[in-house]
Structure 1
Amino acid sequence: MSLSAAGLVGLVVHESYTDKAIVPTQGDRPTVGFGSTIHENGAPVKMGDTTTPVRALIKAHTHITKDEAAFRDSLPGVALHQGEYDLYLDWVYQYGMGAWRTSAMRRELLAGNYKPACDGLLDYRKLTSTRQEGPGWTVSRRDAQGKPVRWEFDCSTPGNKVCRSVWTRQLERHKKCMELQ
């Protein structure tokens, strides 16, 4: 199985194209093109970097193709619908293979629990930052002296203007996943 054309189109639509590097959500790394955080040579995207639509699509496809092999290997013996495969791979593109390997989604799929795997999508609703951003942010980590060093914001907070799209995207993924069950 591999990412469908519809899955690739859906991924780039959700990532939204930018020709100049931006910080998409407070506390994120700079991205360019369709949410790419690294260049083909492995260098991180920096503010001021630019791309074209064609280069950005090639970069997104190259990135997801690399992740796809690791994704498939992480689910030995698990049978997925094409739609499930596409939406979990879309999630991997956004959050990375490291997060996937430790996710409840992967754990539940390996156990053959497809609906709880869908529910695991809803666990990813928080934004983190190394600096306090304002109302609604809570301390998530302290240093050895008890000083706050990391904050988080729950993107599922109704009416928030910080990261509403993060939660909306998770709700869409969850809905599609449940429809496939």
Structure 2
Amino acid sequence: MKNLGSWIGGGAIGGACGLALSISIGVVKHYEGTELESYPDPVGIPTICTGHTGPTVELHQTKTAEECEALLAGDLGKAFDAIDRNVAPEINATMPPTRRAALASWIFNVGQGAFRDSTLLERLNAGRVRDACNQLTRWVYAKGRKLAGLVKRRSTERELCLMGLE
């Protein structure tokens, strides 16, 4: 597994938002991988590029590397928008880039609706940041199956989320 320092210190675009985006891209690429031809994910959902799913993804599609980068940027942009839309402004204003990156990676994976309705968001907005970050490790199931890859990913996301807390 790539160490967290390489995501945090390397390739930052600039500023806190750029750093959060850079970190989240590293995490998502590490755990999703990138495939130019669509494939069924571990629970059978058609997926292409770097974990991109949706109604337009079908098996036997192909994309270019540039198209995959654009899809990833768009998908992560939506995840960051969900953070800005749902996290209380006073919490969001003081959130470090590592926590934003962890949440964006998680939202990218579980979806905006799951985030909006989650205990994690409820605890985060109540100022219970440690409790919110600890919720990440509960999200390791896909269609009722505990997946080793999700266990590893959530551990990384939790570690990023907790950075900066005493």
Q: CA deviation digits over 1:79-112, x for unaligned, max 9?
A: 3111000110110101110000011211111000
| Corresponding position of 2:47 | 31
Does the 8 A contact of 1:21 with 1:46 survive in 2? yes
Amino acid at match of 2:61: D
Please report the RMSD computed on the Cα atoms of aligned residues, expressed in angstroms.
1.6
Q: Percent identity?
A: 17
Cα deviations by residue, 1:40-75 (Å, 9 ceiling, x for unpaired)? xxx421110111211101111012213322321101
SS where residue 80 of structure 1 aligns?
A: coil
CA distance in 2, matches of 1:68, 1:32: 21
Say which of 42, 45, 56 aligns to 2:57: 45
- 1:56 pairs with 2:73: no
SS, match of residue 22 in structure 1: strand
Distance across 1 between alignment mates of 2:159 and 2:81: 26
1:170 aligned onto 2:142: no
**TM-score normalized with structure 2 length:** 0.80
Answer 1 or 2: which has greater strand percent. Answer: 1
Bigger Rg, which one: 1
What's the TM-score once normalised by structure 1's chain length?
Answer: 0.74
SS of alignment partner, residue 19 of structure 1: strand
- Equivalent residue pairs, number: 145
Residue 173 of structure 1 and its aligned partner are, at CA, apart by: 1.4
Contact map agreement 1:20 1:48 (CA 8 A) in 2: yes
Mind listing any 5+ residue stretches in structure 2 that lack a counterpart? 1-15
- In structure 1, the residue matched to 2:120 is 105
1:160 aligned partner: none
Amino acid of the structure 1 residue aligned with 2:85: D
Structure ranking higher in helix proportion:
2
Match of 2:140 among 121, 125, 130: 125
DSSP 3-state at the match of 2:38: strand
